[in-house]
Structures are given as C-alpha cells and as structure tokens.
Amino acid sequence: MTTAVDELSTTFAALADPTRRAILTRLTAGEATVGQLAEPFALTQQAISKHIKVLERAGLISQYRSAQARPCRIEPARFEVVVDWIGQHRKLWQERYDRLDAHLAALQAHGPDSRPERTS
C-alpha cells in the first residue's frame, strides 16, 4: 500500500462519522475552540476532543495555541486528495456510462431483433 492510499483511507475513515462531518461543516465558517465545537452536540468535550484528534490525524483540521485556547481550523489542502480520487473515478464511470448509453441507443436504432449474436 502506498502512502497516498493510506492517507486516503485515513481521510475516508475520519469522514465516515456524522459528528466529524458536522464538525468540519462548522469549521468551514471559521476557527472554533473545542468548547464551541461541542455546543450543538449532546456529547462531552472529551468525546468531541476524540473526534478532533481523529480529524487531526487525518490532516483535515489543525489546532494551534492562542493564549489559553486551542482553536481548530480546517485544512482545505487535504480535501484535494479526496477530490482528485473521486474525480478520477467519476471520469472512469462517466466514460463507462457514456459507452453503455451509446450501445443502448444503437440497439434501439436497429430494433431488438437485430442484436448481434454472442460468440463463446
């Protein structure tokens, strides 16, 4: 397994949890402390901190010290890896669907009785 694949697996694992996705959505509006991130959830700050650590390990967010606070911020560059991977697979599947559409259109144009015979 390559490092890029490992990073992608870690990223997708972090994104698999709805609480972590909600935290990321909140961070798109700007930096926030753990306390601020915990507010909308019926979870303890300790539970939110665990989610934050998973997101940090995946490189999706970072924390820094600012006086007594440790605000979190989103790291958009990591999402590019995901976007690239999805884009590659989307292109592949789009090409396959286009070929299937063309094949089905050809079958319709020639009627159902003129389908080519399959050879073994």
Backbone CA torsion sign across 39, 44, 46, 50 = negative
- CA-based end-to-end distance of the chain: 37
Residue 111 DSSP code: -
Q: What is the pLDDT of residue 52?
A: 96
Q: Give the SS3 label for residue 73.
A: strand
> Is pTM beyond 0.75 here?
no
Q: What is the pLDDT of residue 15?
A: 95
CATH match for 3-75 among 1.10.3720.10, 1.10.760.10, 1.10.10.10, 3.40.190.10: 1.10.10.10
Q: What is the pLDDT of residue 101?
A: 86
Q: What is the pLDDT of residue 112?
A: 60
54: number of CA atoms within 13 Å, CB side? 21
Per run of 10 residues, the mean pLDDT along the chain (length 120 residues) is: 72 95 95 91 91 95 86 92 89 86 86 60
Which residues are CB-contacts of 97 (< 8 A; sequence separation ≥ 6)? none
Q: What is the pLDDT of residue 118?
A: 61
CA gap 13, 21 in Å, rounded? 11
Two tokens, residue 75: 């790291």
CA gap 73, 37 in Å, rounded? 11
Q: What is the pLDDT of residue 59?
A: 94
Q: What is the pLDDT of residue 119?
A: 60
Listed by start position, the domains of the chain span 3-75, 78-111
Each as own residue / partner, the long-range contacts of residues 85-92 (CB below 8 Å, 24 or more positions apart, any chain) are: 85/8
